[in-house]
Amino acid sequence: MKLARWLLPILSLAIVLWITWWDTGGVRQGPGPLHPAHASVAALANGSNCDACHRAGAGIDAEGCNRCHTAIGTQRANGKGLHGRLPAADLDRCGSCHGDHHGDAAPLIANHAFARVGIAEQNAYDHRDVAFTLTGAHAPLTCERCHVHANDEEPPPKGRFLGLSQQCTSCHDDQHKGAYGPDCASCHGQEEPWKKAPKFPHAEFALQDAHGKVECKACHEENSAHAVAALREKPQPVRACAVCHADPHGSGGLQIQALRLANSADCSRCHTATAWKAESFTPARHAEFGLALLAAHAKAPCAACHGDPKQAPRWQGSAPALAECAACHEHPHGSSLMTAAVAAVGPAKGCAGCHKDSDQDFRGGAMPSALHAATGFPLVAPHAEVACAACHQGVAKATRFPGRKPEECRACHEDVHRGQFDLEARYQQCTACHRTTSFHPSQFGLAAHALTAFPLTGAHDAVGCSACHKVGKEGVREFHGTSSECAVCHEDVHKGAFDRAGRPRLVGGKRGCVRCHDTAAFAPVAGAFDHTLWTGYELTGAHTAVDCAACHPRAAAGKAMAQRLGPVLGTLCADCHTDVHRGQFQRGSVTDCSRCHETRSFQDLHFDHQQTRFPLDEVHRTVACARCHTSYETEQGKVVRYKPLGTACGDCHQLGADGRVRK
């Protein structure tokens, strides 16, 4: 029996020892077939050279991997490339990304390999670990456009990704045949189209504006001294404008007599490289010729004064004096106005008295206040800042200068009130409410409002006009006909409760909210609230001292009506008070406490025991109530019993055989 009990463990141990000996002997079978890429290596073909990749008791030998994959080993040693940026703890764990002994059932580069180094998708790799960054046109390319073996099932001997040259000419044709060296990106970059060559050094002649849009060959013709290849051998001086562009101001070209300039080869004196026709003859440069270009003159095209092939010049020779406007301009004013202007302000030909060089155009002149005051209409604010054409319109003199009076506002200004004040003499002129210096704000204040049908008192005197005077359907703010009823502007928080049938319409001659409230503040109510008058429920005794919210509870905190009284709990005693008698005196479904208790205090009674079914005789009148009305326990606590109680003597007393009371 003892041998049989030990036989199974001994046999199991023997089998384990034999298998261990067999595996560590000469057989040495691997866990599975090698990947075809490794199986094709002669040294690993028969599966017996495990030491080439493994160390006894240490798994995969990273140094063994480096002996075959020398480029990867160099990356690791130099800390560069995808493998060089791995954490130190992962450098010797090749098997965590590259598993083998699964035959061709699993790839040598595991699906999670790129994710372990922070690359979510292989095609999204941005070359962060190599010198050739993916920018511009290279960024959207897929891996296989450059790495043709990127998606091969079996990697080639030199690997999928390594071994490519970073020189542009390894992928692109060199159109310059090596004349500018191998660094194409130094001129062409990767961001712009190839033909633009945005990084080409052009410092001596900046390619700005229109010059930046010209193709290279337009200026650098092949086989010429200015060809790009020739300039690398023998630089040439920067060409003047006239070398490439025709001069329209010389003896040939356009016949513009006034614009014939000496030394016209220097086009940049007037023109920029933006566009030829957008000349930039600055006011400061024009001032060198004797006439500074200011305001509207600075915006006038050159041909307006100096002519062009379609019109003769308006001015030639030396510059005119600024006051001699009439040399180029015609004026619409009569001789009398010009004479008065000259007499008032004095300059030659009068124009400069009203029209300044700073004016944007001729119609923007400003008549001097002294001259305008002589017309009977002094120019004071805000009229002093208004352009003449705003008031003086039309062609005929009668319409341009109608002789208005300063107080006739409606002669120029629209009545924004659309005749609401036409029938009131005191408001015939706008100045009754508005200042002459500014239409807004008005000067219609509290004193003026007090003369209307609705004086502003209390909180109303701080309310803006627009709060009560709304803009109507036609876009006009309404003043006449504005209601003075409270409900027109204010919400009835009582929801019409005080306007129901039976409620007083007038209280002290007042209607609406003012029957209880004043304009100082909506709460509290003005004066004492007559509870009997408004509710029909007279407050007596202790009820007169109870806070309103005790019977009219306020809304829960946080709600819009939280500070306002809510509906009454009820008018029955039980609506507010707990029935301490637990329904003993209930009649029907109502308990009327007032049958026994006074409202002054619950302890004040007007209960008459003689009116009950047990009138008290002389003996019982001296007995304390609690002797007969004892308390008993209920689920709600102790309750004094009043009903039902017996009225027979035996219900309370014990009688002897002789009929006498024993207790």
At residue 200 the predicted structure's pLDDT band, cuts being 50, 70 and 90, is: confident
129 membership: H or E segment, kind and range: none
Q: How confident is the model at residue 155 (pLDDT cuts 50, 70, 90)?
A: confident
Sort strands 59-60 and 54-55 into parallel, antiparallel or unpaired.
antiparallel
Angle at CA of residue 142, ends 140 and 146, nearest 5°: 110
Asked, for residue 573, whether it belongs to a domain, the answer is no
Instruction: Identify the H or E element spanning 634.
Output: strand 631-634
Angstrom distances, CA of residue 71 to CA of 80, 119, 276, 471: 11, 21, 59, 83
Query: Tokens for 554?
Result: 């306020």
Please check whether residue 478 is in contact with residue 467, taking contact to mean a CB–CB distance below 8 angstroms. Answer: no
* Residue 140 forms part of a structural domain: yes
Q: Which long-range contacts (CB under 8 A, 24 or more apart) does 226-229 make?
A: 229/176, 229/179
Q: Does residue 467 lie within any of the structural domains?
A: no
DSSP single-letter state for residue 605: B
Q: Residue 143: its pLDDT value, please?
A: 85
- Residue position matching structure tokens 């180029």: 328
Neighbours of 517 (CB within 10 A): 19
- Judge whether 90 lies within some domain: yes
Give the DSSP H or E segment for 507. Answer: strand 506-507
pTM: 0.34
Q: How far is CA 208 from CA 100, 482, 604, in A?
A: 61, 68, 106
> Which residue range forms the structural domain that includes residue 77?
32-147
d(CA 341, CA 122): 85
Does an H or E element contain 511, and which? Answer: strand 510-511
Here the contacts of 17-23 (C-beta below 8 Å, separation 24 or greater) are none
Comparing 339 with 41, which gets the higher pLDDT?
41
Query: Residue 215 pLDDT > 60, yes or no?
Result: yes
Q: Which residues pair with 86 in a beta bridge?
A: none
Counting the structural domains of the chain, the total is 1
The 3-state DSSP composition of the chain as helix, strand, coil percent (nearest 5) reads: 35, 5, 60
From residue 156, how far is each of 37, 119, 149, 285, 427 by CA, in Å? 8, 23, 7, 72, 101
Task: Say which residues have a Cβ less than 8 Å from residue 293's Cβ, sequence separation at least 6.
Answer: 282, 283, 286, 287, 300
User: Would you say residue 255 has pLDDT above 60?
Assistant: no
Choice between 527 and 117, residue whose per-residue pLDDT is larger: 117
Q: Is residue 110 part of a domain?
A: yes
- Is residue 454 within 8 Å of residue 484, measured between CB atoms? yes
pLDDT digits (tens, 9 = 90+) for 307-336: 766 777 776 666 666 556 766 777 767 666
Distance CA 246, CA 626 (A): 131
Contacts of 548 (CB under 8 A, 6+ apart): 565
- The b/e string for 110-136 (b: 16+ C-beta within 10 A; e otherwise) is eeebbeeeebeeeeebeeeebeeebee
Q: How many residues does the chain have?
A: 663
Q: Among 152-156, 305-309, 361-365, 622-626, whose mean pLDDT is lowest?
A: 361-365
pLDDT digits (tens, 9 = 90+) for 79-122: 888 888 788 778 788 888 888 888 877 888 887 888 777 787 77
Q: Each residue of 497-523: pLDDT tens digit? A: 788 887 888 887 788 888 888 888 777
Written as one letter, the residue type at 191 is E
Q: Which of 45, 48, 25, 26 is nearest to 36 (CA)?
A: 45
Amino acid 111 reads N
396-405, 480-489, 551-560: the lowest-pLDDT one: 396-405
Whether residue 397 has pLDDT greater than 60: no
Query: 3-state class of 554 per DSSP?
Result: strand
Q: Give me the mean pLDDT over the 35-48 stretch.
A: 78
Residue 132 within a domain: yes
The answer to whether position 55 is within a domain reads: yes
Question: Are the C-beta atoms of 156 and 149 separated by less than 8 Å?
Answer: yes
Average the pLDDT over 651-663 and give the result. 73
- Compute the distance between CA of residue 267 and CA of residue 241 in angstroms, rounded to an integer: 6
The answer as to whether 91 is a domain residue is: yes
Report how far apart, in Å, the C-alpha atoms of 28 and of each of 39, 40, 51 are.
17, 20, 11
Strands (E), 229-330: none
